[in-house]
Amino acid sequence: MLEYRLPDLDLEQIARSGQCFCWRALEWGGYGVTAAGRYLEVKQQGDLFCFTCAEEEFYAFWRGYFDLDADYGAVKRAIDPEDALLTRAAAFGGGIRLLRQDLWEVMVCFLLSQNNNITRITRSVRLLCRRWGEHRSAPGTRAGSYFTFPGPDDLAGAAQEDFAAIGFGYRAKYMAALCAQMRDGGLARLEAELRPADGAQAERRLMELYGVGKKVADCICLFGLHKRDFFPVDTHIRHVLEARYPLGFPFERYQGSLGILQQYLFYYDLYHG
């Protein structure tokens, strides 16, 4: 059990932020986090966090996952104090961080996200993992075991109908096509192409995938490739931009952290009273 005091981090906000769909709220107040074949339980009390992993694994993986090397306080301080909405949004959802998630997991989750809601996406992902993921034991955690997120090769035996049956709806055909393309090294080749690419190239390449339009491609770039200047525009953000930034959002001013501000605005629009 590891304990750290960490700034600018709020587990509940991240869990509800809609950037990840593999977190589970546990009865005792902690969260079970599945990512890239690993599992961790973490509990927050104020700015004090208890992690179930060993220090070694924390530094090797989870520190990066939670993006703990980035200075979110600096991002918030750089917000124009005359921008009342952004200031309020950052105060309201200031515990959100951009997780460094697994690319494949993000691709699948956001392929599912179109015309869908967070609750239902989470449910579909849970069913996907339970059916095709690997059941592993997790000593030192309260749950004791977890299911990994199945990779494209794990899903070789899954048909379009199987995806439809776990709530994918009409998106099942996108998922089947994605799995077919990403099997047998396809995913590794795509990732090798995307990582070094600039934002525009990565976005264009992702949009070639069936079922991936600009919005989903932008989410994959932001959450799956950690390209921090993507600013996905969905129905909520579109509404905010139209209502609150009639002269245009100051994209140039916030180069380098646009994705974080997008998260603050999205979360604020979704949950503030």
Point out which residues bind DNA (CB under 7 A). Answer: 17-19, 110, 113-120, 123, 164, 167, 169-171, 173, 207, 209-217, 219, 232, 234-237, 262-263, 266, 270
| Least distance CB 207 / DNA (angstroms) | 7
The DSSP string of 209-255 is: STT--HHHHHHIIIIIS--TT-----HHHHHHHHHH-TT---TTTTT
140 backbone φψ class: left, alpha, beta (φ>0; ψ -120 to 50): left
For helices 186-194 and 103-111, the axis angle rounded to 10 degrees is 100
* Shortest CB 111 distance to DNA, Å: 8
Contacts of 19 (CB under 8 A, 6+ apart): 96, 98, 99, 101, 223, 263
Q: Which is nearer to DNA, 2 or 70 (CB)?
A: 70
68 versus 107: smaller Cβ distance to DNA = 107
Query: Nearest distance from residue 99's CB to DNA, in Å?
Result: 11
- Residue (54 or 270) nearer to DNA, CB: 270
The nearest distance, CB 270 to DNA, in angstroms, is 7
Q: Which is nearer to DNA, 94 or 211 (CB)?
A: 211
Phi, psi for residue 231 in degrees, rounded to 5: -135, 75
Nearer to DNA, 10 or 234 (CB): 234
Backbone angles phi, psi at 209, to 5 degrees: -75, 140
Say if residues 162 and 199 touch (Cβ distance below 8 Å).
Answer: no
Please report how close the Cβ of residue 5 comes to DNA at its closest, in angstroms. 26
CB 266 within 8 A of CB 237: yes
